[in-house]
């Protein structure tokens, strides 16, 4: 395997610079992932030709792809999949599928020879890995609006991955065999979740994990990678897309590792640091490196396909969110939720790669799908932030003014008491999480 040391350096520089540039844009309406993909186009073969999607670069791309879906699975609250929120968002996804089929047939007029099933799936899926950082940075992830939107994204991403796995697989098996493979993966996930929950919360292993949380062993983090790679391998052995295995692995870990230990939040931060701080930005940058810009501009039809796909995504995935009006308390938050669940990037990239590998999509159509996904990430979250339908967090109380005169008894109370008196609750709260 070849190692492009200069290419890896450029990936690191692009990953570092993209969030800084995004913060300089007024309103911060451009997510860093958009700038990461654009940076990949600049340094890739279609631009300066400094980085090639091969060797170690491509290996990091695959790891970033899997870890992005793994973190997306971690964000899913499984208990919500049996309540009214799941039924509501699930019904919205079914409506999206029903609308996506005629929309895909209309797109096929421009995308000659494209597979209708792939087009329909491309305009139906959500990208939880983009939605969650937007909601987290806006402080809305824990609101009712945030939870419904995350559930809608979870259903959209998982449902689309499931359908893609059943309809298109690396193994030329009949559809019913693929359904059986997916069912077997589901059984393995259920057994794995129950077994891992019992194991991780056993007295012995729980103690060992707590003792190594701050040591060089970091057993809990290593265990997360064991679960990720285990379900990726299981999915591959079942003939299922390995990406679905990574997503399922995140769900399993979320079920298994749920307790009230004081280091739980710190553990989440470690996984986010590995993912959003390193692997996930590499995935988005290399997505830009692989972007076929020449094919996109090769014909008028391929260029016209980009806005057509954006409109189709908004209709198929955004409009069904109007079903959330009663749950969210109005049309404005429902429209914002629709814009966020219509935000998609990861899945059109997957569809483009599957379509090219099976010769079901042309290079121009694949490039148009990725270009439309970039526009959805650039436009839809910005519009949702403009609507801003969630309730802002209450402002912190003002700092208490220090007493002008301190008695000798107060002076003898020691520096610990003084530090406690001066620290406000707002000063002790962690800042909002950021993501690459």
Q: What percent of the chain has pLDDT over 90?
A: 16
- Is 262 among the domain residues? yes
Distance, in Å, from the CA atom of 257 to the CA atom of 206, rounded to the nearest integer, reads 10
User: For residues 342 and 317, is the Cβ–Cβ distance under 8 A?
Assistant: yes
Residue 368 is part of a domain; what is its CATH number? Answer: 1.20.1530.20
Q: Are 114 and 108 in contact (CB under 8 A)?
A: yes
Give per-residue pLDDT as tens, 156-171.
887 887 788 777 755 5
Question: 112 lies in which domain range?
Answer: 85-276+293-387
Compute the average pLDDT of residues 396-414. 45
383 contacts: CB under 8 Å, gap ≥ 6: 336, 339
- pLDDT on residue 436: 36
Q: For the whole model, what pTM was predicted?
A: 0.73
Tell me if 325 is assigned to some domain. Answer: yes
Provide the number of structural domains found in the chain.
1
Q: What is the pLDDT of residue 1?
A: 60
Half-sphere exposure (CA, 13 Å, Cβ side) for 99? 20
Q: Where are the beta strands (DSSP E) in 186-328?
A: none
Confidence check: pLDDT of 91 > 90: yes
pLDDT digits (tens, 9 = 90+) for 25-64: 876 667 788 889 899 999 999 889 898 888 888 888 888 8
Instruction: List the alpha helices (DSSP H) in 290-394.
Output: 293-296, 300-313, 325-328, 331-341, 346-357, 363-387
Does residue 19 lie within any of the structural domains? no
pLDDT, tens only, 228-239: 888 888 877 776
Q: Is residue 18 part of a domain?
A: no
104-113: pLDDT as tens digits: 999 998 888 8
User: Could you read off the pLDDT of 266-303 as tens digits, one per residue?
Assistant: 888 888 888 888 898 998 899 889 888 887 887 888 88
Query: Would 379 be classed as within a structural domain?
Result: yes
Residue 109 in domain: yes
Query: What does the pLDDT read at residue 22?
Result: 86
Helix (H/G/I), strand (E/B), else coil: 52: coil
CB 254 within 8 A of CB 74: yes
């Amino acid at each position: 395997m070849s190692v492009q040391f200069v290419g890896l350096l450029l990936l690191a520089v692009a990953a570092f610079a993209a969030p800084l540039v995004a913060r300089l844009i007024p309103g911060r309406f451009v997510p860093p992932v958009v700038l990461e993909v654009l940076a990949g186009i600049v340094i890739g073969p279609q631009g300066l030709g400094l980085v090639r999607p091969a060797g170690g670069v491509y290996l990091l791309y695959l790891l970033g792809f899997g870890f992005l879906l793994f973190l997306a699975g971690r964000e899913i609250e499984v208990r919500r999949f049996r309540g009214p929120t799941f039924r509501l968002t699930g019904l919205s996804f079914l409506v999206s599928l029903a609308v996506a089929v005629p929309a895909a047939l209309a797109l096929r007029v421009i995308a000659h020879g494209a597979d209708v099933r792939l087009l329909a799936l491309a305009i139906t899926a959500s990208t939880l890995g983009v939605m969650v950082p937007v909601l987290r940075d806006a402080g809305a992830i824990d609101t009712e609006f945030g939870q419904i939107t995350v559930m809608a994204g979870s259903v959209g991403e998982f449902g689309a991955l499931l359908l893609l796995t059943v309809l298109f697989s690396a193994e030329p098996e009949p559809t019913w065999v693929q359904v059986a493979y997916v069912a077997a993966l589901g059984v393995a996930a259920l057994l794995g979740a129950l077994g891992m929950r019992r194991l991780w919360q056993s007295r012995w292993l729980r103690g060992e994990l707590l003792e190594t949380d701050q040591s060089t062993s970091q057993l809990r983090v290593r265990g997360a990678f064991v679960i990720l790679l285990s379900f990726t391998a299981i999915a591959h052995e079942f003939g299922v897309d390995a990406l679905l295995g990574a997503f399922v692995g995140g769900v399993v870990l979320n079920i298994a590792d749920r307790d009230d230990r004081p280091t739980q939040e710190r553990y989440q931060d470690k996984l986010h640091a590995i993912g959003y701080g390193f692997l996930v930005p590499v995935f988005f940058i290399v997505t830009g490196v692989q972007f076929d810009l020449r094919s996109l501009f090769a014909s008028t039809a391929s260029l016209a396909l980009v806005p057509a796909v954006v409109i189709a995504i908004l209709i198929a995935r955004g409009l069904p969110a109007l079903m959330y009006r009663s749950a969210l308390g109005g049309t404005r938050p429902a429209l914002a939720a629709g814009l966020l669940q219509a935000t998609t990037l990861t899945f059109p990239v997957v569809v483009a790669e599957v379509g090219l590998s099976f010769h079901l999509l042309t290079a121009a159509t694949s490039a148009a799908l990725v270009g439309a996904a970039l526009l959805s990430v650039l436009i839809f979250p910005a519009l949702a932030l403009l609507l801003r339908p969630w309730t802002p967090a209450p402002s912190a109380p003002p700092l208490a003014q220090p007493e002008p005169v301190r008695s000798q008894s107060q002076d003898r109370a020691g520096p610990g008491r003084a530090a406690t008196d001066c620290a406000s609750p707002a000063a002790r709260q962690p800042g909002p999480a950021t993501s690459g």
